[in-house]
Structure 1
Amino acid sequence: MKSFFIQRLEGLLLLGLGLMIFKLYVSGHLTKLIAPKMVPYALAALFAFLVISLLRMKKQKQGLHNCECESHREPSPAMKVLKYSLFFIPIILGFILTDFTLSGEVLAKRGMVQQQTPLVSSYDAGKHVNSEKISVTDDNYFEVLDDLLNNLDTIEGKEIELSGFIYREDSFKEKQMAIARLSMSCCVVDATLYGYMVNGNVKNMKTNDWYTITGTLKKGVYKGEAVPVIDLKESKKIKAPEEAYLYENVEIIQ
């Protein structure tokens, strides 16, 4: 009877994992936890969980009258609870949570990344800093950042426009903030924060709200490193995009 219950529980847990992945996929939340390139693997896992779950259910029905003659050491109740909690807790969270974005507290502990790894892409390096006005989009975000970091001595006074969410750290002054984006390579665990320091009248711009800003560039410092800084000229509050993460920056960094 105990084996019957355990097999049914394991089958139900695997079924729950499959249904959780399906729910996240159809609701559009799956790409808030994993990068789009990982979605096919998640769907393959969904199929595998459903198949194995059905096999476990079938096995327990067929094995009801089998004699369990082999003796083996049973794990303690505490170990059993821990074992199945590793499956049960993620399933519950996957169904009840509606906001999968990282909190401001977590982001503040991580800090912003500025210096990227060596450039390996064949894109036209330097083309953005030679423009009269630099317009940052999701597609060129890392190209622009790379150009600015490598041409800090030539960016003074150039105009830039970009969108992102407001980010602050405890060390920021009253007239300082950052406008940032999150990048994901594989899953939310490796999410990285990229952004630009902003100076100006930013007191009323609430942390985590999304804005499109325009300003002029200059060379500044963030945590002892030379970085591009934006002197704020104009700002407009916007709605957070459906795809809040930047994916696939492999064209610029590997």
Structure 2
Amino acid sequence: MKHTIKVILLIALGIFLLTRLLNGTLSFYIHPRFNVLTLLTAVGLIGLGIAYAIQQRRQAAHNHAHDETHDHDHEHEHVHSHDVTWAGLLLLAIPVVLGLLVEPRPLGASALQNREINIGNDVSLVSANAPEGSELSVIANAGERNILDWLYLFQRSPEPTAFDGQEAHVVGFVYRDDRFAETQFMVSRFTVSCCVADAAPIGLIVEWPDTAVLAPDSWVEVSGTVQARTFNGVQMPVLVAESITPTETPSQPYLYQ
């Protein structure tokens, strides 16, 4: 019985990884550069499960063809020497069960609690230091830069007014707490280097007169110009919004370093 369950779980785990890869939700958890390795793992698990199933059928046919007690006992011992424990089966079952029960969702505003949030110019919303910016090849066209591009540029320039008047168009989710004025919020994303375990929140402070109508954690497209403003007593570049449009969660919700 355990052998059959092992076959089912190996194939199920492989199919689970394969479906997450094909529908794009695997990127909610790990960097896309691991997609090839995940594909190889999924194919390997399915192949291993099929191989065990074939072995099981051959073993059953072989045992049926040999009636002698010695041969039967020898084969019986051989099969069980490669058997898996119930604890091992449980470890195989856990990711499959959790994957079926828990809807895949990217990190959002609720994951920002008690985390530092990099908002540029070595400033974060708590005292801890935010991760250093990546050596990005920043897009020259200001309107095509994402939040990570802008923060990298802010970190490279000590002068908050250096970007005054530059157009910006970014996509992120809405985050606010009691440190923001009534006309301010932060358009936020998570950066990922390997997987969600190392995810770091980043964001741009946005000024917008209708901030109150924006639902927390909702995804928006923000267009406007960068201007030096004061936030929590610190002068920094702020995105003064000219238009804000609700949008769907991107297929790639994270920004990758």
**TM-score of Structure 1 vs Structure 2, range by shorter chain:** 0.7 to 0.9
Percent pairwise identity: 21
Distance 2:108 2:151 in 1: 24
Residues 112 and 195, structure 1, Cα contact 8 Å, conserved in 2: yes
**Candidates 225, 232, 239, aligned match of 2:248:** 239
TM-score normalized by the length of structure 2: 0.72
CA RMSD of aligned residues (A): 3.6
Distance 1:152 1:136 in 2: 22
Offset at residue 40 of structure 1 (A): 0.3
> Is 1:39 the counterpart of 2:52 in the alignment?
no
**Candidates 213, 221, 226, aligned match of 1:212:** 221
> Is 1:93 the counterpart of 2:74 in the alignment?
no
Residues 185 and 207, structure 2, Cα contact 8 Å, conserved in 1: yes
Q: Which residue of 2 aligns with 1:252?
A: none
Q: What secondary structure sits across from 1:68 in the alignment?
A: helix
Q: Which residue of 1 aligns with 2:125?
A: none
Letter in 2 for 1:175: T
Q: Which residue of 1 aligns with 2:19?
A: 23
Offset at residue 51 of structure 1 (A): 1.8
Distance 2:205 2:171 in 1: 13
> Is 1:183 the counterpart of 2:191 in the alignment?
yes
Q: What secondary structure sits across from 1:45 in the alignment?
A: helix
Q: What secondary structure sits across from 1:177 in the alignment?
A: strand
Distance 2:234 2:91 in 1: 41
Structure 1 gap ranges (5+):
250-254
Q: Which residue of 2 aligns with 1:142?
A: 148
Q: What secondary structure sits across from 1:50 in the alignment?
A: helix
| Compared CA separation, residues 210 and 48, structure 1 to 2 (3 A) | same
Q: Which residue of 1 aligns with 2:174?
A: 166
TM-score normalized by the length of structure 1: 0.72
Residues 136 and 163, structure 1, Cα contact 8 Å, conserved in 2: no
Residues 149 and 228, structure 1, Cα contact 8 Å, conserved in 2: no
Letter in 1 for 2:205: M
Offset at residue 49 of structure 1 (A): 0.3
**Candidates 200, 203, 218, aligned match of 1:192:** 200
Distance 2:45 2:36 in 1: 14
Q: Which residue of 1 aligns with 2:162?
A: 155
Distance 1:38 1:225 in 2: 39
Residues 152 and 227, structure 1, Cα contact 8 Å, conserved in 2: no
User: Which one has a larger percent helix, Structure 1 or Structure 2?
Assistant: 2
Structure 2 gap ranges (5+):
64-71, 123-130
Q: What secondary structure sits across from 1:194 in the alignment?
A: strand
Letter in 1 for 2:7: G
Q: Any idea what the Cα deviations from partners look like across 1:116-139, whole Å, max 9, x if unmatched? A: 536645x47xx96xx8xx32434x
Residues 220 and 227, structure 1, Cα contact 8 Å, conserved in 2: yes
Greater Cα radius of gyration, structure 1 or 2: 2
**Candidates 82, 85, 89, aligned match of 1:84:** 89
| Compared CA separation, residues 54 and 117, structure 1 to 2 (3 A) | same
Q: What secondary structure sits across from 1:89 in the alignment?
A: helix
Distance 1:119 1:93 in 2: 33
Distance 1:135 1:59 in 2: 59
Offset at residue 6 of structure 1 (A): 2.0
Number of corresponding residues: 229
Distance 1:170 1:99 in 2: 30
